[in-house]
Amino acid sequence: MKILALSGILLILIISSSLGLMDPKRFGKKFAELIYKCHRSCKVITGVPQQLIEGVKVGQFPDNETDIQYYTLCLWASSGELNDDYTLKKDQLVEYLAEMNITHQADIYETCNKNAIKLVGLSLYKQIWEMQKCIYKNIPTEDFIFY
């Protein structure tokens, strides 16, 4: 019976660690406040179902669901992380990443952003969606930030 219980606990730990979502406890106070504000307003603005948000957190990027794509653009735009030309404000990004001890990943974010903005012919929300997919593919899953 103990072996079965321990096996169940181990399975839960393995599954939860494979989900690839950064533990919100790692967010600094300033970033946590920003996340809460942006999530609430962008969810209302876009009407995105929570199920789609949860899907992105585990690497599901449905290219046919525009609500989640607009939500992603809204998050980046309302967080103040983007310049007027939609390039990343790297200094500000580094400030937030420093709160989580992952500043070494700033270049990945910047590269994904630059590559996405170069996708001429795609609308802005699709470019930012491609950026988000790139970030997910190129950073450790336990450091993926999506809310």
Distance between CA atoms of residues 45 and 19, nearest Å: 27
Distance between CA atoms of residues 137 and 144, nearest Å: 9
What confidence tens digit (pLDDT) does each residue in 97-120 have?
A: 887 788 889 999 999 999 999 999
What confidence tens digit (pLDDT) does each residue in 5-57 have?
A: 333 333 333 333 333 466 666 667 777 787 889 999 999 999 999 999 999 99
Of the given ranges (7-16, 53-62, 74-83, 120-129), which has the lowest mean pLDDT?
Answer: 7-16
Q: Check pLDDT > 60 for residue 81.
A: yes
pTM (2 d.p.): 0.80
How many CB atoms neighbour CB 67 within 10 A?
Answer: 15
Domains of the chain: 2-143 (1.10.238.20)
Q: Check pLDDT > 60 for residue 132.
A: yes
3-state secondary structure of 123: coil
Place of tokens 């899953």: 141
Query: Counting beta carbons within 10 angstroms of the beta carbon of residue 32, is it exposed (0 to 12), middle (13 to 18) or buried (19 or more)?
Result: middle
Distance between CA atoms of residues 101 and 53, nearest Å: 24
